[in-house]
């Protein structure tokens, strides 16, 4: 009788509403979060809970004493995110080890790898929660950290299936593959909407001959606890702020900005960065370099803000090349480096006011000079 009842409970055997997935809002999750939302929603889990934004309070309350290595603050902050989620109503803690990233530059660069320290941060921080006792087991939470090669999407179903098959009832490799496709659809849809918003800003700048700023940073610098909301400090002064990872990619726009160099044989396509950066393995680095090239050519980007965290070994080799690319066009370049958990509010405010002074003074000339180097403005820019 029990066996019959058990079989009868399975027709919907894929009822997974009791599964509550916690995902830390950290590092490369900032650029892939919509993939995970689409992926888990397709699988029918009951709830997806992201940790809150990084903060000193979060780190002090949940992360202190659980750091097993010396590293940059964005990596160490993961301890606070995991600790916070352990106090949420979840039964599956999902912390992906992202080896490579999806990138619009794929096929034009050598690879789209993640920072190795970022990828391995998961295991290093996890060790801090196992040092004295297994805090995950104590709370009845399964810790799942699959290897995730976004740069090789054909491998994703296998790795995600192997990681989740013991935690999601009746999961199959085929279903995982379909969930991966839904995840990419969700991510692509989100990025398309963000790029459309960026194009709206550029069109507004072109119509009104107003300057904009471009932020070159890691995606996780959007986290207020990591990037300290430095980008938002400029908006009260009337300067729209764009982020490099959501710049518009319309063919007509890229042809206008890069067409002359392609015809001259300097680059092979608008996405080619080999003229300024040959070691194109790191995804974020590649896109930062490309963003610098875009900023140097678009007339209405008159200033670039570079953000970087303390001890970021991946960023350090790029500081000089990025500055040279930007300044070679007359575009203003400003850097906020060595960011850590402490927000120096006073000094940030002073620097922002100084930067605004230079933007106000030099932007009209920069726009004029950059326009003079390009062909006639395409009609699509003033739609």
Do 325 and 214 share a structural domain? yes
Is residue 7 scored above 70 in pLDDT? no
User: What average pLDDT score do residues 254-259 get?
Assistant: 98
Provide the 3-class DSSP secondary structure of residue 93.
Answer: strand
pLDDT at 372: 96
pLDDT at 63: 85
Could you tell me which residues come within 8 angstroms of residue 343 by beta carbon, excluding any fewer than 6 positions away? 228
Do 351 and 251 share a structural domain? yes
Could you tell me which residues come within 8 angstroms of residue 330 by beta carbon, excluding any fewer than 6 positions away? 365, 366, 369, 370
Asked whether residue 137 is assigned to any structural domain, the reply reads yes
Is residue 175 scored above 90 in pLDDT? yes
Asked whether residue 31 is assigned to any structural domain, the reply reads yes
Do 165 and 143 share a structural domain? yes
pTM of the model: 0.93
User: What average pLDDT score do residues 177-198 get?
Assistant: 98
How many other CB atoms are there within 10 angstroms of residue 365's CB atom? 11
Residue ranges of E strands in 117-253: 142-144, 147-149, 212-216, 241-243
Alpha-carbon distance of 191 to 197, in angstroms, equals 10
pLDDT tens for residues 141-157? 999 999 999 999 999 99
User: What average pLDDT score do residues 217-243 get?
Assistant: 95
pLDDT tens for residues 56-109? 899 999 987 787 677 788 999 999 999 999 999 999 999 999 999 999 999 999
Strand partners, 93: 22, 143
Which of 140, 169, 187 delimits the end of a domain?
A: 187
Which of 187, 221, 246 delimits the end of a domain?
A: 187
Evaluate whether 170 touches 7 at the Cβ level (below 8 Å).
no
Is residue 163 scored above 90 in pLDDT? yes
How many other CB atoms are there within 10 angstroms of residue 160's CB atom? 26
Structure tokens at 219: 């995606």
Is residue 42 scored above 80 in pLDDT? yes
pLDDT at 68: 67
372-381, long-range: CB < 8 A, 24+ apart: 373/329, 374/256, 374/257, 374/260, 374/297, 374/299, 375/256, 375/259, 375/260, 377/206, 377/256, 378/252, 378/253, 378/256, 380/250, 380/252, 380/253, 381/202, 381/203, 381/206, 381/253, 381/256
| Residue bearing the bigger pLDDT, 70 or 52 | 52
Q: In what order do the strands lie in the sheet with 20-23?
A: 47-50, 20-23, 92-94, 142-144
Do 279 and 361 share a structural domain? yes
Q: Domain containing 264 — which CATH number?
A: 3.40.50.11900
Is residue 257 scored above 70 in pLDDT? yes
From residue 361, how far is each of 105, 205, 237, 302 by CA, in Å?
Answer: 35, 17, 13, 11
For 78-90, give one letter per residue: b (16+ CB within 10 A) or e.
Answer: bbbbbbbbbebeb
Asked whether residue 3 is assigned to any structural domain, the reply reads no
pLDDT at 2: 31
C-alpha angle 253-335-120 in degrees, rounded to nearest 5: 90
Do 149 and 62 share a structural domain? yes
Which of 126, 161, 187 delimits the end of a domain?
A: 187
Do 371 and 269 share a structural domain? yes
Do 226 and 290 share a structural domain? yes
Do 164 and 222 share a structural domain? no
204 alpha carbon, distance to own chain's centre: 25
Share of the chain above pLDDT 90, in %: 83
Domain count, the chain: 2
How many residues comprise the chain? 383
pLDDT at 12: 40
Do 205 and 174 share a structural domain? no
Asked whether residue 5 is assigned to any structural domain, the reply reads no
Do 329 and 300 share a structural domain? yes
Per the structure, the complete domain to which residue 17 belongs is given by: 13-187
For residue 24, give the nearest of 97, 72, 84 by alpha carbon: 84
Asked whether residue 4 is assigned to any structural domain, the reply reads no
* First and final C-alpha spacing in the chain: 70
Share of the chain above pLDDT 70, in %: 96
Asked whether residue 7 is assigned to any structural domain, the reply reads no
Alpha-carbon distance of 297 to 290, in angstroms, equals 11
Asked whether residue 350 is assigned to any structural domain, the reply reads yes
- How confident is residue 13, by pLDDT bands cut at 50, 70 and 90? low
Could you tell me which residues come within 8 angstroms of residue 358 by beta carbon, excluding any fewer than 6 positions away? 303, 332
Could you tell me which residues come within 8 angstroms of residue 305 by beta carbon, excluding any fewer than 6 positions away? 213, 214, 215, 216, 217, 230, 231, 234, 241, 334, 335, 336, 355
Do 150 and 43 share a structural domain? yes
Structure tokens at 345: 């509010």
Do 241 and 329 share a structural domain? yes
pLDDT tens for residues 301-358? 999 999 999 878 788 889 999 999 999 999 999 999 888 888 888 889 999 999 999 9
Task: Determine phi and psi for 227, rounding to 5 degrees.
Answer: -95, -5
Asked whether residue 360 is assigned to any structural domain, the reply reads yes
User: What average pLDDT score do residues 32-43 get?
Assistant: 98
pLDDT at 119: 87
Evaluate whether 114 touches 99 at the Cβ level (below 8 Å).
yes
User: What average pLDDT score do residues 189-206 get?
Assistant: 98
Provide the 3-class DSSP secondary structure of residue 289.
Answer: helix
- How confident is residue 8, by pLDDT bands cut at 50, 70 and 90? very low
Is residue 170 scored above 80 in pLDDT? yes
């Amino acid at each position: 009788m029990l066996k019959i009842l058990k079989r009868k409970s399975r027709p919907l055997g894929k009822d997974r509403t009791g599964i509550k997935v916690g995902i830390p809002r950290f590092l490369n999750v900032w650029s892939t979060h919509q993939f995970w939302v689409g992926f888990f929603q397709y699988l029918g889990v009951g709830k997806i809970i992201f940790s809150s934004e990084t903060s000193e309070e979060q780190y002090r309350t949940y992360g202190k004493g659980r750091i097993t290595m010396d590293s940059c603050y964005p990596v160490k902050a993961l301890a606070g995110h995991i600790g916070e989620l352990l106090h949420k109503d979840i039964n599956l803690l999902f912390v992906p080890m992202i080896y490579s990233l999806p990138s619009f530059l794929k096929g034009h660069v050598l690879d789209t790898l993640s920072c190795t320290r970022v990828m391995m941060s998961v295991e290093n921080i996890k060790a801090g929660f196992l040092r004295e006792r297994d805090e995950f087991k104590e709370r009845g939470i399964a810790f799942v950290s699959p290897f995730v090669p976004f740069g090789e999407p054909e491998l994703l179903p296998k790795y995600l299936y192997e990681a989740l098959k013991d935690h999601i009832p009746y999961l199959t490799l085929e279903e995982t593959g379909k969930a991966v496709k839904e995840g990419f659809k969700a991510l692509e849809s989100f990025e398309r909407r963000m790029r459309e918003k960026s194009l709206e800003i550029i069109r507004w700048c072109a119509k009104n001959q107003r300057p904009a700023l471009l932020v070159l940073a890691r995606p996780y610098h959007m986290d207020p606890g990591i990037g300290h909301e430095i980008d938002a400090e400029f908006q009260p002064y009337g300067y729209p702020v764009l982020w490099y990872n959501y710049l518009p990619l319309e063919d007509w726009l890229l042809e206008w900005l890069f067409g002359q160099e392609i015809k001259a044989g300097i680059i092979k396509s608008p996405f080619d960065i080999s003229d300024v950066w040959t070691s194109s393995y790191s995804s974020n680095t590649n896109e930062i370099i490309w963003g610098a090239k875009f900023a140097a050519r678009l007339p209405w980007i008159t200033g670039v803000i570079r953000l970087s965290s303390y001890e970021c070994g991946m960023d350090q080799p790029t500081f000089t090349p990025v500055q040279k690319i930007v300044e070679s066009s007359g575009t203003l370049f400003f850097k906020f480096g060595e960011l850590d958990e402490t927000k120096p509010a006073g000094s940030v405010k002073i620097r922002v006011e100084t930067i605004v002074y230079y933007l106000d003074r030099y932007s009209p000339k920069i726009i004029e000079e950059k326009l003079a180097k390009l062909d006639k403005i395409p009609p699509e820019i003033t739609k």
